[in-house]
Structure 1
């Protein structure tokens, strides 16, 4: 190739590279019909460890839809369900670092990052489900979400995770006395251990995946969880006595990265908060449907349900737990239960 052709070739190559660079720079912008430039859409990632059709995922997707609507398409949220972005603790850590933008996690693992949120694990904290959601969706709930300040996390709203109750393989449980002497599997949580021991049972922390075999072999006598988990794990097959008394209802929390939050305008922050709060209704409806389906399925599968209408003696039995955590949670307990 002679020098003239080589020079022409290099010139054309330079033009092509320049055009490609300009194209890349404008990939996030577009021009609308009026000829005005649109700044494009910012896409955020939301971590969810439950399946696509699970109530929390349904809530996430409603939140994402509302954010896109309220910001006129300037923000889009992709929901990564099924633990694609990691388990709950890993997701929280990544949200802190800003490598994940948002996540839906339970309040229990969040206590590692914000101990005040642990008040929501206290037993029989609310007198009714109606009162619970009035508080969590109201002024006190928003105040509790503000306690994430300084953790590099931003609390947006609470989601329903149902009511946890006791079940066992031995006999029906109607009163706290009926739990005495039973070995009950609990989460690795100080509050959960204190509750079970206050009720006269023996608390046995155990990995979740080992509970079925533990119940089957008699290593433990019982466990505690909500109806959907009781059903999907098949625990009702080996522990058919379920006490419907909802001793704990630790909610889920929708969180955002502080790094992302600080890039939002005040108007967009308001839009995100409104979207999160408005999505709660859809999420709770999905949870109620799943709970009812699971309840019917375990009854059909042979489970015996014991309904407890008066919780006064159960609340009295766990008073030592409130005494134990009075210094840590006292102010919040007053605000949430008054």
Structure 2
């Protein structure tokens, strides 16, 4: 009987070894020793926006560059339209390694990495050009690096424009012009305090209700970026748009730290550079969409007002005292970038 036991043990060992070998060849072919061994890897990237939206255009360029620079070895599949869940769900799945990459706005990410709350401070940047100098410089890199504490790796920033005020009553050139106006805001303490500091009356309201509220006078105005002002048809019922650019919350392209740690250093380098190189395509797509939205408003006869933000920055100083004390050194560093 001993020979039978020996035979069965041998067969069992062969089956285990065979199954282990099969397991190593299936799935995403990821290995802690690196992925530059010739095996093909398929990774997933989540985005909540439509297929033709600027961020998804950036995602696709990122995936194209990675595939090209690895000779087709690493394939990144894009899942737009929130196919893999809303941003909060995507973040949680990225942390677990169930989703490999995500394009996430800095606002929801701030719930997982408190340092990103700095982007919620109004009038933080003096201009679009200054913002990109900050984001693509040492300060921006430092903020991306903090995401590792939340089990993510920050790769690069994408553009999401700047939020500005618009209303149905009159041109707004200075903060006092908002006095008495009912302004729709997100359900957010800092946005409510922002409108109060500028002299308006904040009205928290679901985004889908804003058009009707503007049309009927339940609210006098709202705030958002150019593409949203256009896509929602708010430009048809609130014809005064003030380019005060009070909020610039960039998009971030992030990777799961769990996925990242399974990549070889060479593949990490390729992916990081591809992400940074994809930014130019994404920003160009954003600029084109913004120009389209602005042209529609002009063609509609809307009044567009530019402002000097110095007076606006002064008016919101109480918000910096309330929300910005923990970022004081970082704020000074950002303001020093010219």
1:332 aligns with 2:300: no
1:321 aligns with 2:319: yes
CA positional deviation for 1:24 = 9.3
1:91 aligns with 2:90: yes
C-alpha contact (below 8 Å) 2:195/2:202 kept by paired residues: yes
1:109 aligns with 2:114: no
Distance 2:102 2:21 in 1: 35
Deviation string 1:232-291 (CA, Å, 9 cap, x unpaired) is 000011111111121111100111111101101122212221111111111111100110
Tell me the matched-pair count.
312
Q: Relative to structure 1, is the Cα distance of residues 325 and 22 closer, same or farther in structure 2, using a 3 angstrom cutoff?
A: closer
The answer for the alignment partner of 2:171 in structure 1 is: 172
Distance 1:43 1:144 in 2: 28
Classify the secondary structure of the residue corresponding to 2:150: coil
Higher RCO, 1 or 2 (CA under 8 Å, sep at least 6)? Answer: 2
CA positional deviation for 1:119 = 0.4
CA positional deviation for 1:149 = 2.0
Distance 2:61 2:329 in 1: 33
C-alpha contact (below 8 Å) 1:183/1:202 kept by paired residues: yes
Q: Relative to structure 1, is the Cα distance of residues 311 and 149 closer, same or farther in structure 2, using a 3 angstrom cutoff?
A: same
Q: Relative to structure 1, is the Cα distance of residues 214 and 121 closer, same or farther in structure 2, using a 3 angstrom cutoff?
A: same
C-alpha contact (below 8 Å) 1:60/1:79 kept by paired residues: yes
Classify the secondary structure of the residue corresponding to 1:76: strand
Deviation string 1:286-337 (CA, Å, 9 cap, x unpaired) is 10011001100122123221122x2211111111111212322212212222
The answer for the alignment partner of 2:216 in structure 1 is: 217
Deviation string 1:149-193 (CA, Å, 9 cap, x unpaired) is 221121111110001100011111111000011111112222222
Normalising by structure 1, we get a TM-score of 0.87
Distance 1:271 1:219 in 2: 52
Classify the secondary structure of the residue corresponding to 1:150: helix
1:136 aligns with 2:112: no
1:235-274 alignment, distance < 5 Å: 235-274=234-273
1:62-73 alignment, distance < 5 Å: 62-73=61-72
Distance 1:177 1:71 in 2: 56
The answer for the alignment partner of 1:11 in structure 2 is: none
C-alpha contact (below 8 Å) 1:28/1:40 kept by paired residues: no
Deviation string 1:22-67 (CA, Å, 9 cap, x unpaired) is 99986789xxxxxxx9733111110111111111011111111112
Distance 1:332 1:191 in 2: 19
Bigger CA drift: 65-74 or 55-64? 65-74
1:1-338 alignment, distance < 5 Å: 39-308=38-307, 310-338=308-336
Normalising by structure 2, we get a TM-score of 0.87
Distance 1:171 1:241 in 2: 6
C-alpha contact (below 8 Å) 1:168/1:241 kept by paired residues: yes
Q: Relative to structure 1, is the Cα distance of residues 24 and 247 closer, same or farther in structure 2, using a 3 angstrom cutoff?
A: closer
Distance 1:45 1:314 in 2: 42
Q: Relative to structure 1, is the Cα distance of residues 153 and 38 closer, same or farther in structure 2, using a 3 angstrom cutoff?
A: closer
Distance 2:187 2:330 in 1: 23
C-alpha contact (below 8 Å) 1:28/1:39 kept by paired residues: no
Bigger CA drift: 159-168 or 239-248? 239-248
Show structure 2 runs of 5+ residues with no match.
1-17, 29-35
Deviation string 1:203-260 (CA, Å, 9 cap, x unpaired) is 2221111111111222211110111100000001111111112111110011111110
Bigger CA drift: 139-148 or 212-221? 212-221
Show structure 1 runs of 5+ residues with no match.
1-18, 30-36
